[in-house]
Amino acid sequence: MKSNLIYFFCLIWLSSCSCEPEDIAKLAFSGMENIMGEGFMPSEEIRAMGRFQGMSVNLSQSTVDDEVESTIFLKLENGDPAILGNQPEILARKCAETYLRDFEKSVDYQKITVQFIQSDPSNPENVAMQEYTFDTKDF
């Protein structure tokens, strides 16, 4: 009976929490940055450059002929078509430069690939992708 009562009060306490989903997401991202390094998550500055609706990062390391190659994949989704249509390679380079400047462990990677992904709102299966790869030493 006593454990049921404690469970009941814990349930009431948790359900009365007025936490904002944004606060929970910020906490999760800060935990991720503590593990991966400061600046791992793309900044709002990058989002604003192309008015991107979604952003994500993947880190990859592969071995080919006993040579290790590590790559950062910066995936930017559903940006403003007017901005993307006007010299997307220059925008990709600016996004890569900004990301590498902010990510403290960027020196551990040889390449950065910026992917612009556009999906059709009326048909999500219809997707277009542009991809640009740069050497990190060029920045």
Q: Which residues pair with 9 in a beta bridge?
A: none
pLDDT in tens, 61-119: 888 888 888 999 999 999 999 999 889 999 999 999 999 999 988 899 999 999 999 99
Whole-number Å distance between alpha carbons of 65 and 118: 35
Secondary structure letter of residue 136 according to DSSP: G
What element of type H or E holds 129?
strand 123-135
**Residue 134, CB-side half-sphere exposure with 13 Å CA sphere:** 21
pLDDT in tens, 9-44: 555 555 555 555 555 555 555 555 555 666 668 889
**What number of residues does the chain have?**
139
Whole-number Å distance between alpha carbons of 118 and 81: 9
Tell me which residue of 58, 31, 43, 37 sits closest to 115, measured CA to CA.
58
Q: Which CATH number does 38-138 carry?
A: 3.30.70
Q: For position 134, what pLDDT does the model report?
A: 97
**pTM attached to this predicted model:** 0.73
- What type of residue sits at position 18? S
